Structure 1
Amino acid sequence: MTLVQLKHLIELATSGSFSQSALKLHLTQPALSRSIKALEDELGQALFDRIGRKNELTPFGQHVVQRARVLVDEAKELRLTSLQLRKGEIGQFRVGMGSGPGAMLMTPLLMLMAKEHPQAQIDISRGSTALLVQALRERTLDALILDIRSLQPATDLKVEAMQEMKGTFMCRRQHPLAKKRSVPFEMLLNYPIASTPLSDEVARILIERFGPQGHPDKLVNLRCEEVSSLLEVVRHSDAIVLAIRESAPDLVELPVTPALNAKARFGLVTIEGRTEAPFMSKVRTLMDRVMRDRA
C-alpha cells in the first residue's frame, strides 16, 4: 500500500462517490476504482459496501480510514520537518572545535544560531584532536573545525581546507619585550611560554627554527586546550603565548629572530560519504567570513 492509495481511500470515504472523488483527485473513475480494489486485495477485506450509487465504509473500512488519516497526517508533518531542517529552522548540529578555531569561531557561531535559528540546537565540544576525531567516528559529532595539520591522514575523513592563519609569539603591551624591534629566541626563554598542544608539524618547524630548545616539551611551560584561558594569563602577566595571531588582536606580536614563519591551516572535517548536517553550509559560510575578516 502507498500513501497515494490511502489518500484515495480518505477522499472516497469523505464523499462516498467515486465520480466526485475522482474529479477532486484529478483521476479517471476507473483509475480510482483500481486503486481502491488493489488496497482491498492487499488488506484482504472489503473497505466499502456499494449500495446503489452510495459507497459506505464497512466496519473494517472505518478502522482502516482512522489509521490512514493518522499516517497521512504524519507524512505531512514529516515533509514539513524535512523542509524546516533543510532551511536550518530546526534540528541539531554537533561540532567539535580545536583551540585556535574555537577562539575565533565559537562566539560568532553561537550568536548566529541564537539570532537566526532560535528553534535549533547546537552542541559545541572542545578537546584534543584525537578525542574529537574519535567522537566524529562514533557519530556523536557531525563535524570538526580544527587545524587540519594536526590530523593523522585517514581514508575515512573528508578534509576541507578553509583558511591559513599565521602563528606567532605574543605578549601584553606592558611586557618588557613589547617595544623591542628584534627579540632573539633565547630572550623568550626568560619568561613563561604558553601554548595549546601543538601538532607534530608545528613541533618540527620549532625545532628547525630554534634548535632543541624549540621542542614543545622544553619550550612550553603553560599548556592548556583552551587558548582563551592562556590569553587571559598573558594579558595579566609577563607570560608569552604561541598562538594564532588573529586569536588575540589586542596582544603585541613579538619580532622573534629567527622568524617562526609557521601557519595553521584551519578546515572542516567530516566522515567521507556521510550526508552533511543541515547546518554545514551556514557553518562553512561563517568560517569563511570570520577568518577572512580576521586575516
Structure 2
Amino acid sequence: MTLVQLRHLIALARVGSFVKASDVLCMTQPALSRSIKSLEDELGQLLFDRIGKRIELTAFGQEVLVRSQALVEEAEQLKHSGRRLSADDSGRIRLGLSSGPGAMLSAPLMAHFAKHFPKFHVDIVRANTSSLAQMLRDRQLDALVVDIRSLRPAPDLKVSHIVEMDGTFMCRRGHPLADLPKVSFKNVASYPVASTPLSDELARILVERYGERAHPDVLVKFSSDEISHMIQVTEQTDTVLLAIRACAPHLVELPVIPPLKAKARFGLVTVANKAEALFLPEVRRLIDAVMGAAGT
C-alpha cells in the first residue's frame, strides 16, 4: 500500500468515475483500475460497488476513505513542517471557532489570508465546542479556537496558545442601568440576560458570587452559540449581555458589585501527535494580535 494508491482512492471517490478520475490524475484508466484493484486485494474487501457505469463507495470503502484522507493530509503537512508559509502557497484552512473567538477572529483571519496568502481557501465553521471537537476528531477540521473550559480533557487532543479574556455584564447605551455608579446582581437579574452557553466552571463562579439565582439555567433567558445574535438583542432591547468584554467594545460594562472576576480561557486545539499544518503559525500570530491584545 502506498500514498499514491490512497490518492487514487480519494480522487476516484471524489469524482465517482474512473474516466474522470484518470483525467484528474493524468493517468490511463486501466492503470487507475489496476491501482484500485491492488489496494482492494491488499485490504481484502471491495472499496467500490460497480453499478453499470457508476461507482459508489462500499461501507468499508467509506471507512478507508476517511482514514486515507487523514494519512495523505498528514504526509503533506509533514513534508511542509520545516518551513514557513509563503505568498505562493495554496491549500485549505478548515478552522472551527466557538462563539467568542468566532466574533473576534473570523474577519481578521479572512482579511489576513486575502492580503498575504491569496491562494488559500479559508473555511470557518462556527458551532459549540463539543460539536467542533467531534469534527476535529473526524478530520473535518484542522484546528479549533475555543473556550477550553468547555472542552472535555482528552488524550487525543492537544491544547496550546492559551489566551485569557475578561467576562462581564454589559448593556446598551441609554439602558436604565448604564449610568449607575454601582449595580447589584438584583438590578441585573431584573432584566433579561443573554449569553452563549456557559461552562460548568463559570456556572460555579456565578453561584458563588451571587447565589443560586445566578445559575445560568435560571439567570439566562436568551442563549445562542452565535454571539452576534446576542449582541444585536442587547443593542435593541434592555437585555443585559454576559460575555467576553472584547466581543462588544461599544456596549457599556456594568459595575456589578461584587465584581464577577471571571475569565474565559481560549486555546488553539489540534489533534495530538499530528504533524502541524503549514498555516498554524499564522493562526497563532493572529490570536496574539487580535485576542492577546484585547485580553491585556
TM-score calculated relative to the size of structure 1: 0.70
Shift of 1:294: 1.8
Specify the alignment match of 2:7 in structure 1.
Answer: none
| Structure 2 counterparts to residues 1-295 of structure 1, below 5 A | 86-87=85-86, 89-295=89-295
Q: Percent identity?
A: 52
Secondary structure, aligned partner of 2:207: helix
Letter in 1 for 2:167: G
User: Unmatched 5+ residue regions in structure 2?
Assistant: 1-75
Q: Deviations over 1:129-185 (max 9, x none)?
A: 110000000111000001111111111110014311000000011100001011110
Q: Is the 8 A contact 1:96 1:125 kept in 2?
A: yes
Q: Is the 8 A contact 1:195 1:223 kept in 2?
A: yes
Cα distance in 2 for partners of 1:265, 1:293 equals 14
Secondary structure, aligned partner of 1:110: helix
Secondary structure, aligned partner of 1:269: strand
Cα distance in 2 for partners of 1:214, 1:161 equals 31
Shift of the 222–202 alpha-carbon distance from structure 1 to 2, 3 Å rule, reads same
Letter in 1 for 2:198: L
Secondary structure, aligned partner of 1:221: strand
Specify the alignment match of 2:70 in structure 1.
Answer: none
Secondary structure, aligned partner of 2:211: helix
Letter in 1 for 2:99: S
Shift of 1:282: 0.2
Computed over aligned residues only, the root mean square deviation of the Cα atoms, in angstroms, reads: 1.8
Cα distance in 2 for partners of 1:169, 1:200 equals 18
Shift of 1:84: 9.9
Q: Is the 8 A contact 1:161 1:268 kept in 2?
A: yes
Q: Is the 8 A contact 1:191 1:238 kept in 2?
A: yes
Letter in 1 for 2:120: A
Shift of 1:237: 1.1
User: Unmatched 5+ residue regions in structure 1?
Assistant: 1-77
Aligned residues: 216
Cα distance in 1 for partners of 2:269, 2:292 equals 19
Shift of the 150–269 alpha-carbon distance from structure 1 to 2, 3 Å rule, reads same
Of stretches 85-94 and 151-160 in structure 1, the one that deviates more from structure 2 is 85-94
Cα distance in 2 for partners of 1:124, 1:85 equals 22
Specify the alignment match of 2:49 in structure 1.
Answer: none
TM-score calculated relative to the size of structure 2: 0.70
Radius of gyration: which is bigger?
Answer: 1
Specify the alignment match of 1:11 in structure 2.
Answer: none
Q: Is the 8 A contact 1:172 1:235 kept in 2?
A: yes
Q: Is the 8 A contact 1:172 1:234 kept in 2?
A: yes
